[in-house]
Chain A
Amino acid sequence: MSTYKKRQFRLRIVSLLSILVFLAVWYVCTAVLRLAPAYSLPDPITVFQSFVTKLSSRVPDGATLPQHIWESFKIAMAGYLMGVVIGVPLGIAMGWVSWVEKIVRPVFDFLKPIPPIALIPVMITLFGIGIESKACIIFFSTVIPSIVNSYSGIKQTSQIHLWVARTFGASNLQQLFTVAIPSALPMIFAGLRVAMGVSWMGLVAAELMGATRGIGYMISTARNLLRADIIIVGLLTLGFIGIVISLVFDLIEIKFVRGGK
Chain B
Amino acid sequence: MTMEKKKTVIEVRDVSKTFYNREGDHLVVDHLNFNVYENEFVVLFGPGQCGKTTVLNLIAGLELPTGGEVVVNGEKVVGPSPSRGMVYQTTNLFMWYNVMKNVEFGPCVRGVKKAERRKKAQYYIDLVGLTGFEKHFPVKLSGGMQQRVGIARAYCNEPDIICMDEPFGHLDAQTRYLMEEEVDRISASEKRTVVFVTNNAEEAIYLADRIILLHNCPTSVHREYLVNLPRPRNYVAPEFLELREQITKDMDDTIG
CB within 8 Å of B: which residues of A? 158, 160-161, 163-171, 174, 178-179, 182-183, 185, 258-261
Contacts and interface: CB of A to CB of B under 8 A. Distances in A.
B81 A169 contact: yes
Contact of A164 (B81, B92, B139): B92
A183 B92 CA distance: 12
Contacts of B105: 165, 168, 178
Main secondary structure of the interface of B (DSSP, over half): loop
10 contacts: A161-B94, A165-B105, A166-B79, A167-B60, A167-B86, A168-B85, A169-B110, A178-B94, A259-B96, A260-B139
A78 B137 CA distance: 36
A172 to B, nearest CB: 12
Please provide the 8 A-B residue pairs with the shortest distance between their CB atoms, ordered closest to farther: A169-B82, A182-B96, A259-B96, A168-B106, A170-B109, A167-B80, A166-B80, A259-B137
B84 interface: yes
Contacts of B97: 182, 259
B109 A178 contact: yes
Given A178-B109, A260-B139, A261-B139, A167 B82 contact: yes
B143 to A, nearest CB: 17
B96 A167 contact: no
Contacts of B110: 168-169
Interface in B38-62: 60-62
B80 A161 contact: no
Interface string B58-99: 001110000000000000000111101110100010111110
Interface residues of B, number: 26
Nearest to A183: B96
A17 B108 CA distance: 54
A217 B98 CA distance: 49
Contacts of B122: none
B157 interface: yes
Interface centre among B85, B96, B138 (most CB of A within 10 A): B96
B82 A182 contact: no
Contacts of A258: 96, 137
B81 to A, nearest CB: 7
Interface in B84-130: 84-86, 88, 92, 94-98, 105-106, 108-110
Contacts of B60: 167
Given A164-B88, A174-B109, A259-B98, 10 more contacts: A163-B62, A163-B80, A163-B86, A164-B86, A167-B60, A168-B110, A169-B82, A178-B105, A182-B96, A183-B95
A259 B139 contact: yes
Interface centre among A169, A179, A182, A260 (most CB of B within 10 A): A169
Contacts of A171: 109
A260 to B, nearest CB: 6
